Structure 1
């Protein structure tokens, strides 16, 4: 059954069918071929989507779209330029810090690149950076978004692995800071070695105060989100709803830049993005059900535990698997297929579920930076009109800091478990 399923799935990809169609169609055909109950097609898809944590996905997408429409990204960018732009390589540091702050609004790497990439790359070019270097920094910094709350991939992981969503989201806070710090350390070294330029901005203290005051509502968005979850006032779904309301509030009353036309455009974009994500979720649920019926998770778990019961060894095996899978499959698809298979064995071996979620997502975000299916590479190539080979050469040096951060997250469980354990005793 599993061999037939994988062959049909591969055939769908080879003929150019969308991933979600390949997943659902291959599962449906296997169900028909092996005379399994056809009612599963509707039941499994509907039951999977009938999930409170998944309700946070469209709300977070809408919140990010609304915050982008208010122009907060421009204010954040200007403020950080004033604060750190004058150090050598300052604009590259600004790039990382803006991605870190904006990740508290978007939760997706491609959303960060789409909202910020063009602005950041143009500004860095204007300051004397090569387009290749600017593209590399932008792509590498975008990996922070899917780790820091609100992380859509971590929500999907928690749903697929049947673990606590709020603990999974809180687990991403410290690792996201580790990734940002690793990138900034590498940028500082490269700035000295390659004599990277300083920003030409010369802000005065009153100008910094004025820009900080203007940017304050935008800076409070991730504080509201993470602080609300840490305090226990609301869970992920409620946090998403509050963030949407906050984005509308500041867009109408503070920045006064959110128009009715802009709001309708944001909701339209949200519907399209949500449909894409949840179509994949529903189709992958059918695919995973067929694998479960063929006892693939049980056999895979038994094999993993036969190889080793050492959590670190199992995590290293998982890292290698996910790095390869991430080169070919989109992150959400990979999570939905692989997480139900390997999670029980790794949890049985003693791997904390919070650490497992972060390892999953960080590995698959690195897949966005690696060909042949590195969507971040293609998006920046389109934005900058650069050949794909040049974009890859630009991001290649930053694999060093990103893999170093991945190694730390893998070797030190406390980076992922400390905050959830502190908050949810």
Structure 2
């Protein structure tokens, strides 16, 4: 799919955002192993969480939408008949995780202590992402994880597990969550030590103990812990909101409002960075649902951004938002340095290289570093023909840049946006009327 985005003089509206993928994945997984029927309000229709649901169905878990039970946004609730950990059954064939690293890594942890063997497969992109980072701790616990040169397909041979204390060598909420899920099946108490805090949805949603010692977070789970059936509420995705926050911050004129956005402090670093750049982003109606904080956001064109340095402990907090923040940097005055983001090299594509190529094609001054980018802002962008590389965040970041470019920009591989934001192109059109043309 090819989409051409034309520049827009002004942006305004209330775009519909998708449900938070990270929370949706976990809600489905936790409901599946709970002790009864759970309700998930506002579940995501994006491809990645749907891959999790499909895999759990293959493990014997029943999911049902009930059209007569609607959430506040009008979407049907998803009801899940939990089977408990011991109720999961061996699948008839490989579990297809699609493009979802979260699905594959968290399922590997969940299945590591089950008394059967499961093969986890994915698409070409997922099959190129590193899986040794979960195989090592799960192997230390007693599971046997088969791989090919550190990559999927994963063959998970379940076995009786022993608890461990595992210090994360790389900041990764997926690795942390995989170990904690395996810990549910292990004897004793399993602890994950985080030198750098990562998104904390798993521990929030499971109500796990967290201690901070010497600046490090220690997250623990007791083997045999029962997950109770409950209602889960999935907020709107702050990573999806980021595209509109940046668009509103670089436009000549803008007033964009975003409702019910997740404001988990381990996910909201994009707000801090944009404000440091001079963006006018306001939060109102803050509340908490299902253990997750959320609120309503409003962004208005600030009349100009300035370059900043992005690095250190905040990077895991906004790793998914760095491509679109690079767009903001290209439009800002002065230099922006992005460092400590080498994890972007092993996402759906090499996102450092991919966003650099997009911005350079559009006339920006961008230099790649092994762990990030140096962007000299303020040169003005021009329309171009760019390739999303089958990466949803690159496709959407290119679209945001196109809104302020001189001339139209054609984005190849635009269908990738559906991985996390199926309604993105309609949402973009809703705030930039007449700017989006599908081809």
Q: Which gives a bigger RCO, structure 1 or 2 (Cα 8 Å, sep 6+)?
A: 1
Q: Fold-level match, TM-score > 0.5?
A: no
Q: Which has the higher strand share?
A: 2
Q: Which has the higher helix share?
A: 1
TM-score relative to the length of structure 2: 0.25
TM-score relative to the length of structure 1: 0.26
